[in-house]
Structure 1
Amino acid sequence: MAPHAAHTRSPRSRNRPRFDEHLPVDHRLNRVYRVGAGLIGLFLLAFGILGMINRIGFFSTGGDTVVGLNTNGALSVLSICVGAVLLVGMVIGGNVASTLNMVLGVLFLLNGFLNLGLLDSGSNFLAFKMQNVLFSFAVGLLLMTFGMYGRVGSSLPHDNPYWKSRHPESPPARREEPEHREPRQVR
């Protein structure tokens, strides 16, 4: 076997984007991921802590509300855990926060649909009401938006690693140097 054959990648892995190599730690999009995750994480953490302080039963389906949302002990613990994960993602930043926001956004949307179907049933163990479902949809859409910012869109710059991974056949973007013009002489 030739020595260079050991280093060739399969066509499938060649198209796989390698994001960490292209986005520096201080990339401007990093702030969007961090702020979005941080604010939502802080709200969920506060919501969960306030629910725990009120000593609501763990699987209580009563009408206990905190900050306008129905809650119980299980939802409070879950909110604290998800809020902490979002805060950790905020601290780590970069692609971790972006991916975490997208994944949790999808989970919030799915949770909203699931609990919408369970609203008036005995299986509503998180004590969701309609305001919780709407909150879950809103947070899911926000998190997905924060996570997809800079990854999808019709106007991504050609040096963006996400654009490059979708267009592997395109030549690398050249930086156009401005044409040097002699100043006009005034007569």
Structure 2
Amino acid sequence: MRLRDELPVDHPLNRFYRLGAALCGLLLLVFGCLGFAGSLSAFDTAGRQVAGLSTNGLLSTVSVVVGLLLIAAAAVGGNIASSVNITIGVLFVVSGFVHLFLIDRRANVLDFGMSNVVFSFLMGLLIMTFGMYGRVSGGLPHDNPYWQRRHPDRAARETAAALRPGAPRPSIVARPPEI
């Protein structure tokens, strides 16, 4: 899969990528700002809670930066938003695994607890889903631009067959079987 595949400007998936990036970015931005509002020190590992997650000033900073990055990707839209969603989603899942092993150790500078690990896994999967939707699937419809990029010969044959005069047009609505 090439992540540089281009979608038409008005393709409906662009809205989905933008919406996913904006919602997840806004959630992270709010979490980071709530952490800053609590006047947390940068490397405090005392277990201060914000919205049910342990945090410190460094985690709040990371949350704000990642949230702003997702919101910026939503503003750009298209394949940029999709690629940023995929990348950040993977980083969240990797972060969950890393911090799972760092819980209760001195190297846990972001003050991750088990709730943070679960949140990291879930948020990563959600963000990746927003980014991969319509790009990664075994059953993409043949009018999907990503399917057409991956199967250019077959797409050209189907387009040529559909343009022939008198060629039957594929029906979108399924008809019930005749009895």
Scaled by the length of structure 2, the TM-score of the pair is 0.84
1:78 aligns with 2:62: yes
Q: Structure 2 regions of 5+ residues with no counterpart?
A: 171-179
Aligned residue number for residue 40 of structure 1: 24
In 1, Cα distance between the equivalents of 2:169 and 2:149?
Answer: 28
Q: Among residues 96, 103, 111, which one is paired with 2:95 in the alignment?
A: 111
The answer to whether the 8 Å contact 1:49/1:76 transfers is yes
1:17: how far off?
7.9
Residues 159 and 56 of structure 1, relative CA distance in 2, 3 Å threshold: same
Larger radius of gyration: 1
1:19 aligns with 2:23: no
In 2, Cα distance between the equivalents of 1:155 and 1:177?
Answer: 23
1:52: how far off?
0.8
Of 157-166 and 81-90, deviating more is 157-166
Deviations along 1:17-65, one digit per CA (max 9) or x if unpaired, are: 8622xx2222111111111111111110011011011111100001111
Number of equivalent positions:
163
The answer to whether the 8 Å contact 2:3/2:83 transfers is no
In 2, Cα distance between the equivalents of 1:99 and 1:18?
Answer: 8
In 2, Cα distance between the equivalents of 1:16 and 1:34?
Answer: 19
Q: Which amino acid aligns with 1:147?
A: G
The answer to whether the 8 Å contact 2:3/2:79 transfers is no
Residues 63 and 85 of structure 1, relative CA distance in 2, 3 Å threshold: same
In 1, Cα distance between the equivalents of 2:60 and 2:46?
Answer: 14
Aligned residue number for residue 137 of structure 2: 153
Residues 150 and 171 of structure 1, relative CA distance in 2, 3 Å threshold: closer
1:154: how far off?
2.4
Q: Percent identity?
A: 52
In 1, Cα distance between the equivalents of 2:61 and 2:3?
Answer: 36
The answer to whether the 8 Å contact 1:70/1:127 transfers is yes
The answer to whether the 8 Å contact 1:37/1:89 transfers is yes
In 2, Cα distance between the equivalents of 1:48 and 1:82?
Answer: 10
Q: Among residues 116, 127, 134, which one is paired with 2:111 in the alignment?
A: 127
In 2, Cα distance between the equivalents of 1:54 and 1:134?
Answer: 22
Deviations along 1:129-168, one digit per CA (max 9) or x if unpaired, are: 0000000000110111111101121221223232233324
Residues 157 and 69 of structure 1, relative CA distance in 2, 3 Å threshold: same
In 2, Cα distance between the equivalents of 1:58 and 1:99?
Answer: 30
Paired residue secondary structure (1:121): coil
Residues 18 and 93 of structure 1, relative CA distance in 2, 3 Å threshold: closer
